[in-house]
Chains A and B, each alone.
Chain A
Amino acid sequence: AQSVAQPEDQVNVAEGNPLTVKCTYSVSGNPYLFWYVQYPNRGLQFLLKYITGDNLVKGSYGFEAEFNKSQTSFHLKKPSALVSDSALYFCAVRDRGGYQKVTFGTGTKLQVIP
């Protein structure tokens, strides 16, 4: 079975500081990994994904994520946080084996403090 862990329910960071939202995963094979963001009263929006190749993936709104196979992690990062980045962030994993099911983490609330 595949699973995703987001160990922090909430992350607080000052505006302008770098931010990290943590994610670890477990799959039987090699993973496809995704980050989504959810703003209040809006659907989940795709941020970025890891498929293969470079372990550092760049996505929307200046976000990036680093795939670390040995640590089975896919942490979301941004060099300089904006107040508008405050939202709920979900990490998700999908097994490359062709099975369609996407498993989401429980989410991390990011609060950027002005």
Chain B
Amino acid sequence: GAGVSQSPRYKVAKRGQDVALRCDPISGHVSLFWYQQALGQGPEFLTYFQNEAQLDKSGLPSDRFFAERPEGSVSTLKIQRTQQEDSAVYLCASSRTPDPNTEAFFGQGTRLTVV
């Protein structure tokens, strides 16, 4: 596609529910990132994939958070047993190469509200 696509755009979950957030990166992009952006804050790194390999998951806040990219393209961020503190915008980004000097292209994000 022309850009990074995320779905759904908005998600309301009851506390304790599991959610799955999808990211379609730009075709051919090797690197994929997930970020969490709380209201009024900058994006906080969650995890990084190079193709299908999850090379860094140091930012995942708890073992309730799980991400995968099984075929090196589409990625899913799953949150189990959602809590109110999980409410945030979840951003996905991709970049063409793994080189750290390469800029990332961001999707519009999924706004998760846990009630």
Contact = CB atoms under 8 A, between A and B. Distances in A.
Question: What interface size band does chain A fall in?
Answer: 20 to 34
B91 A100 contact: no
Interface in A70-99: 90, 94-96, 98-99
Question: What interface size band does chain B fall in?
Answer: 20 to 34
Contacts of A45: 106
Contacts, number: 63
Given A51-B101, A96-B100, A105-B42, A44 B55 contact: no
Interface in B74-115: 91, 93, 98, 100-101, 103-109
A32 B100 contact: yes
A102 B40 CA distance: 18
A106 B41 contact: yes
A104 B42 contact: yes
Given A32-B101, A43-B91, A51-B101, A100 B108 contact: no
Interface of B: 3-4, 31, 33, 35, 40-45, 48, 50, 55-56, 58-59, 91, 93, 98, 100-101, 103-109
The 3 A-B pairs at the shortest CB distance, nearest first, are namely A104-B42, A43-B106, A44-B106
Interface of A: 4, 32, 34, 36, 41-46, 49, 51, 90, 94-96, 98-107
